[in-house]
C-alpha cells in the first residue's frame, strides 16, 4: 500500500510542489526509505473541500495512515519510522534537537528591519554551534549516515540560503566550512533534488512575510 501525502502547492502554480519545508521533510523521509507515495498538492489559498473535511485545521503536510489523515511533520515522521523501520532514521535522543533553533533565528533575521537588533548575530551563533557539532561528529549530524535530524534541517537550510541570499544578499560565512559542506552534501542528495521547491517559489513564499 502506497502512502498518500498532502503537501503545499507553489504560490501561483497549483500544479507544482510548493515551498513548505515541513512538507519537504516528510517527502525526504519517504524518498530516503524508498516508500512509494502519492502526492496531493494543496493550494493553500484555496483549499479543496475534501481536504478541509479530512483535515479541519487545514495545515500541510498531512499523511494518510490507517485511513485517517494525520497532521504535524514530527508526528508523521514518527509514524513512517514505526511502519517502515528500514533503513532506520531515528537519531539518538541527545542529537534530536541539534540545529533546532536555526530556523526561528533565520526567520527573525529575515524579517528584521533593524541591523542593530542582534538577529544576525543570533543566527550566526546557531550556525556556529552546528559547525562545531559537525566538525566533531560529521559529515551528518549523527556521523556517517543520514538521519531524521538532517532531513528536518535540510529544507530549512535551503530556505535560509535562498531567502537570505535574495532578500539580504547574505550567505553563510566561508569560515563555517563544516556547515557549508553539510549544505552541499544535503542539497546534492537525490531525495533532495526530487523534493525541493524551485528557488522562485521559495522567494515568492517569503515575500509577503518579509514585506509585512
Residue 101 is placed in which grid cell? 533553533
For 83-109, letters b (16+ CB in 10 Å) and e give ebeeeebbbeeebbebbeebbebbbeb
User: Which residues are within 8 A (CB) of 175 and not within 5 positions of it... i.e. 6 or more apart?
Assistant: none
Q: Is 6 a catalytic residue?
A: no
Smallest CA-to-CA distance from 121 within 111, 138, 109 is with 109
Catalytic pick among 3, 20, 123, 176: 20
CB neighbours of residue 36 within 10 Å? 8
Q: Are 17 and 7 in contact (CB under 8 A)?
A: yes
Q: Are 102 and 153 in contact (CB under 8 A)?
A: yes
Residues designated catalytic? 20
Amino acid at each position: 500500500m502506497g502512502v498518500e501525502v498532502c503537501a503545499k502547492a507553489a504560490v501561483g502554480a497549483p500544479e507544482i510542489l510548493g515551498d513548505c519545508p515541513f512538507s519537504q521533510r516528510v517527502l525526504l523521509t519517504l524518498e530516503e526509505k524508498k516508500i512509494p507515495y502519492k502526492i496531493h498538492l494543496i493550494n493553500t489559498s484555496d483549499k479543496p473541500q475534501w481536504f478541509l473535511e479530512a483535515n479541519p485545521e487545514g495545515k500541510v503536510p498531512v499523511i494518510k495512515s490507517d485511513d485517517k489523515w494525520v497532521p504535524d511533520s514530527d508526528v508523521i515522521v514518527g509514524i513512517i519510522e514505526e511502519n517502515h523501520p528500514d533503513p532506520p532514521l531515528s537519531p539518538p535522543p541527545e542529537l534530536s534537537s541539534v540545529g533546532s533553533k536555526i530556523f526561528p533565528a533565520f526567520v527573525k533575521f529575515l524579517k528584521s528591519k533593524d541591523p542593530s537588533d542582534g538577529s544576525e548575530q543570533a543566527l550566526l551563533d546557531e550556525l556556529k554551534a552546528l559547525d562545531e557539532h559537525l566538525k566533531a561528529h560529521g559529515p551528518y549530524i549523527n556521523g556517517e549516515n543520514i538521519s531524521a535530524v538532517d532531513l528536518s534541517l535540510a529544507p530549512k537550510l535551503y530556505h535560509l540560503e535562498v531567502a537570505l541570499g535574495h532578500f539580504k544578499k547574505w550567505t553563510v560565512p566561508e569560515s563555517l566550512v563544516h556547515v557549508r559542506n553539510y549544505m552541499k552534501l544535503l542539497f546534492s542528495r537525490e531525495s533532495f533534488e526530487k523534493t525541493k521547491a524551485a528557488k522562485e517559489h521559495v522567494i515568492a513564499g517569503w515575500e509577503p512575510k518579509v514585506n509585512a
